[in-house]
Amino acid sequence: MEREYDNIPGTYPLDSRTYRKGYHVNMFLMSLNKAECRDQFAQDERAYLDTFKMKEDQKLAVIERRYLDLLKLGANVYYAFKLVSFDRQPPQVMYGQMAEPRLTFDEFQQMMLGGGRPINGNRSVEEWNNG
């Protein structure tokens, strides 16, 4: 079923649709809260991922740290943070990678220091399409 918020551009809320699509990938991400799971993942990422009922494209997106693809495959950003933290990266690295256009850490910081992404022009898919 469509939702009222579906035409907010570039936005991936966790709802019943993403819940089901992303259940296993999010539960993998959540497991990184535990030090012993982080150790297992560090030892052999692929082998650890194989202990979860994730789809192959989800596993590859994890291994290749493709964060936007992860969201598209059902991961939620709060869960995705666990992977960024695992890598000891600041979140701005992930933010920049997801941004359209893609931004480096410094470019993302600069955008925020300049007042952030403006709301005007970013409210709806229609606003995006009209440039």
Provide the binding-site residues for other proteins, judged by CB under 8 A: 4-5, 8-16, 19, 23, 26-27, 29-30, 32-35, 38, 68, 71, 76-82, 85-86, 88, 91-92, 95, 98-100, 108, 111-113, 115-119, 122-124
Q: How far is the CB of 131 from other proteins (least distance, A)?
A: 15
Q: Which is nearer to other proteins, 10 or 47 (CB)?
A: 10
What is the SS3 assignment for 83? helix
The kind and range of the H/E element at 8 are none
CA-CA-CA-CA torsion sign (22, 28, 34, 39): negative
Dist CA 10 CA 2 (whole Å) = 16
Q: Which is nearer to other proteins, 119 or 129 (CB)?
A: 119
Nearer to other proteins, 59 or 103 (CB): 103
Report which of 74, 60, 72, 71 is spatially closest to residue 20, judged by C-alpha positions.
74
Minimum distance from residue 112 beta carbon to other proteins (Å): 4
- Name the minimum Å distance from CB 12 to other proteins: 5
Who contacts 32 (Cβ-Cβ below 8 Å, separation ≥6)? 38, 41, 82, 83, 85, 86
CB of 129 to other proteins, least distance (A): 13
